[in-house]
Structure 1
Amino acid sequence: MSGGTTTTAAAGKAPLSAAARLRRGAWYQRPRWRRLGALLALAVVMAQVTGEQGVRNDLFHALEQNFTGGGVALWVGAALLVWLIREFRGDAVARAGARLRESTARPAGTVREVSARLLGQRLYRWGALAALLVVLIVLPLTVTTFWQQVLVDQIGVYVLLAIGLNVVIGWAGMLDLGFIAFFAIGAYSSAYWTGGLPVEPPVELNNFLVIPLAVLTCLVAGVLLGAPTLRLRGDYLAIVTLGFHEIVYLVAKNSPELTGGTRGANGLDRFSIDLGFWHYEWALDPVPYYWLQLGFVCVILVLFLRLEHSRIGRAWTAIREDEVAAAATGVDTVRFKLLAFAIGASTSGIAGVIYASKQAFVNPEQFVVLFSVLALAYVVFGGMGSIPGVLVGTAILVWLPQFLRDRVDPQDRYMYLGALLVVMMIYRPQGLWPSRRRQHELKMAEEGVGGADALGARPGGVRG
């Protein structure tokens, strides 16, 4: 009997051990070796990105040069070093980091407490804002002409666009992929009212007088876009806004009798002031345009900050968090969504007039859909719903490709920008400077509380 029992037990253990071996998996499927494979793949990619560029006549020239030189060995060595530290000395590094955090926690807490106390007082808060404004005013006088052009033609323009797009996306929660179309409308409004298009206006106006008309035109365009799309959300709304951009772009490109077509409009008027006893005209110097943009940005920020905490801003927040619940509690979702489209588009009118005056030229290729995607990336990177975050995020992402101009091959500059966006969205999805409400929503989502926007987090706080 005992022999039979032993045989039966051995026979029963054999299938179990086989099943255990199947569940165990191969050695290369274990997390440690998968991390090594990922790091080595990253090293190979970085060796190619930072190595010699390809030539048109030889497709494999760059691969041969980069993988036979010392660059790939350097990157692979760095990857192996990171892997060894992570796998075999990770606990020691974690303990050293914990000791460092403990040693700096008290001074950092003291600094935060003092700064919060000072900024909580109105006098110090206004003093800090005044100091920042002085720095921004003096900034173009301390940089080269190239960076002055970047401040005006790119950072200034995209800051105005991002402030308006933040209303639509960050406050009202509506995805807009065609926002650059309003920028085009503002620029062509400036060209029309200053007599730069084939169609003659009823009266030619100064660019300062064109600004309210361009803003009004963008407001009407925002309403025209919002009215047919009020019942759409998410991906469907994004597709409609993308189609709206293509309509505006193709009309501008294929209507030479109205917009000048692909040739565009040349010789547009620049900003000027004529008081009779004193006359001034903006010329090629970018500094006056920078100060003009800064003045408009300050005025818009004051108005939008008041708007954010008003009844309209609270209604937008309710629509963004749950449109059905907002409608059930009496919020007129139709009206407030139209307001979001219209008010968000208004800043594009100002940006379009300033841009057309500065360039003295408008062409449809200046308003391709890529610029809408970039503006969206700037808002998300800075922090949706946060005005300071949008300003800082836009400035950083516009500055980065220009900073890499003399350091990285032009074909690779935006690769670094894309890598930065990927890392940011993985490790800090709330943005560089998020709003307090957005931070609270993400914290609730990670904890599995309520229906907050998880941005990839699963219920119970488990990340995918």
Structure 2
Amino acid sequence: MSTQTIPAKPSIRERWNNLSRPAQWACLIPLVLFVYALPWLNPPLIATTGTDFPTAMFDVARYALVAVGLNVVVGQAGLLDLGYVGFFAVGAYVAALFTSPNSTLTKLPYLWTLPLAMVITMIFGIILGTPTLRLRGDYLAIVTLGFGEMIRLIADNVTPLRGQSGFERVATDAAGKSFLPTASWWYVLTVTLIIVVLLFVGNLERSRVGRAWVAIREDEDAAEIMGVATYKFKIWAFVIGAAIGGLSGALYAGKLGFVNNQSFDVVTSMLFLAAVVLGGAGNKVGVLLGAVVVAYMPLRFVQIAEYNYLIFGIALIVLMIFRPQGLLGARQRLLARGRQAYQRLLGKGEQISGDSALTPEPTAKGTV
């Protein structure tokens, strides 16, 4: 009796990739418009009883932007960063120092502080990454954890940063009027920046830089042997992630209108990391989902908000046991590239092809 092989059903991602570009845009545009309209729609099913709904949506969007930036470092390059809140804090203080009347620095229009915050946090990323990114694993995690705490202590003890007194009227004009009138418009600005950042990160993921990150994440030693400049590409990941973290911090400072050192503790950094791990490190849609879970659930279910750290901790343990890749794991095709290249390096497969993710393009020195 002959047996017939039943073809596997295509996954959602495969179905999506099989759609034409116009069909993909036809699906995305209504979804994006719906996301933009959420603060005004205020659907009863997802309304937040304890918090103004537009403010809640801004918090979710802020976490989503943070998660996208941290995903570049943790998910795409495989660098465990436990002090990402430090870059978030630097961005917030840049916005405060250049817009608050409590600061003695020259005042700038708030929108100018957004790229300025990104540039300054990129510099901090270079300063931190240059000596530390030769470390790996737990050693790198400990150093980054110390960086996040160091930024908080500097803010507490350096007089111009005003410690717990902080900066008031951030992103306001001389009359005390906020840069944007309502939380809804802060949400719109943040969602717009998320879309821009996602497009930028997506292009990087498909470039040689993204392929190098995958190689480093899968097996850094094999990547080095095959000519990938691992240190350089790790610096790139760290700096790009830092810039996105600084941008989100500046948005947070502008919306809140107040910045002090109490908002940038280790617990906040762990929540940022939880959003990435819960959603699926390496998957952009996954980390957005993780950010929604981490930021929205305590606002929606206020009865359990005081137990949110316990709940997220248990959720992480359960995921590590039963689904270590997160709710939406990284793209398996990208994960497979590093493994295949490593197997070929060991002589278990055919010669490395010219379009391999790890194959360097010809350069003067023969490195990527």
TM range (shorter): 0.7 to 0.9
Identity %: 39
> Do the aligned partners of residues 185 and 196 (structure 1) sit closer, same or farther apart at CA in structure 2, a change above 3 Å counting?
farther
Distance in 1 (CA, whole Å) between partners of 2:108 and 2:81 is: 32
Q: Distance in 2 between matches of 1:438 and 1:235?
A: 27
Structure 2 partner of 1:233: 136
Letter in 2 for 1:370: V
Q: Using the alignment, how far apart are the partners of 2:321 and 2:13 within structure 1?
A: 32
SS in 1 for 2:22: helix
Match of 2:325 in 1: 430
CA deviation after TM superposition for structure 1 residue 327, in Å: 1.6
Aligned position for 1:130: 29
Q: Deviations over 1:56-97 (max 9, x none)?
A: xxxxxxxxxxxxxxxxxxxxxxxxxxxxxxxxxxxxxxxxxx
Deviation per CA, 1:1-39: give whole Å up to 9, x if none.
Answer: xxxxxxxxxxxxxxxxxxxxxxxxxxxxxxxxxxxxxxx
d(CA) in 1 for partners of 2:100, 2:140:
35
* C-alpha separation in 2, matches of 1:155 and 1:120: 30
- Matching residue within 282, 295, 300 for 2:180: 282
Residue pair 2:214, 2:334 contacting (<8 A) in 1 also: no
Number of positions where the alignment pairs a residue of Structure 1 with one of Structure 2: 328
Give the CA deviation at 1:450: 10
Correspondence for 1:310 among 207, 231, 242 = 207
State the 1:437 CA deviation. 2.8
Cα distance, 1:404 vs structure 2: 2.0
Structure 1 residue matching 2:302: 3-state secondary structure: coil
Q: What amino acid is the match of 1:310?
A: S
2:162 — aligned with what? 260
AA aligned opposite 2:33:
V
Does the CA contact (< 8 Å) of 1:119 and 1:125 recur in 2? no
Are 2:171 and 1:269 aligned? Answer: yes
Shift of 1:353: 1.3
Q: Does the 8 Å CA contact 1:270/1:358 hold for their aligned counterparts?
A: no
Q: Tell me how far apart the structure 1 counterparts of residues 231 and 12 of structure 2 sit (CA, whole Å).
A: 44
**TM-score normalised over the length of structure 2:** 0.82
What one-letter code is carried by the residue in structure 2 that aligns with 1:147?
F
- Mapping for residues 330-349 of structure 1, pairs under 5 Å: 330-349=227-246
Q: Does 1:160 align with 2:65?
A: yes
Secondary structure at the residue paired with 2:216? helix
CA contact (8 A) 2:274 2:290 kept: no
Residues 439 and 399 (structure 1 numbering): CA distance in 2 closer, same or farther, change over 3 Å? farther
Task: Describe how 1:15-414 pairs up with structure 2 within 5 A.
Answer: 109=9, 116=15, 120-143=19-42, 146-152=52-58, 154-198=59-103, 200-201=104-105, 203-255=106-158, 257-270=159-172, 281-283=179-181, 285-406=182-303, 408=304, 410-414=305-309
Offset of residue 129 of structure 1: 0.9
The one-letter code of the counterpart of 2:294 is L
Deviation (angstroms), 1:271: 8.4
Instruction: Answer 1 or 2: which has greater helix percent.
Output: 1
Pair 1:233–1:361, CA change in 2 (3 A): same
Comparing 323-332 with 377-386, greater Cα deviation is found at 323-332
SS of the residue corresponding to residue 261 of structure 1 reads: coil
Structure showing greater radius of gyration is: 1
Cα contact 2:271–2:294 (8 A) shared by 1:
no
1:128-149 per-residue CA deviation (whole Å, 9 max, x = no partner) reads 1111101101111122562221
Residue 362 of structure 1, CA deviation? 0.1
> Structure 1: where are the runs of 5+ without partners?
1-104, 273-278, 452-464
Deviation at 1:126, TM superposition (A): 1.0
Deviation, 1:170, is 0.8
Other structure's SS at 2:119 match: helix
1:415-440 Cα shifts (integer Å, max 9, x gaps): 33333322222221111111223895
Higher relative contact order (CA 8 A, sep 6+): 2
Q: Which one-letter code corresponds to 1:302 in the other structure?
A: L
CA contact (8 A) 1:249 1:368 kept: yes
Please tell me the root mean square deviation across aligned C-alpha atoms, in Å.
Answer: 2.9
Distance 1:401 1:334 in 2: 39
Distance 1:388 1:219 in 2: 25
Given that 1:197 and 1:259 are in contact with CA atoms closer than 8 Å, whether structure 2 keeps it comes out as no
* Structure 1 residue 324, shift from structure 2 partner: 1.8
**What's the CA shift for 1:334?**
2.0
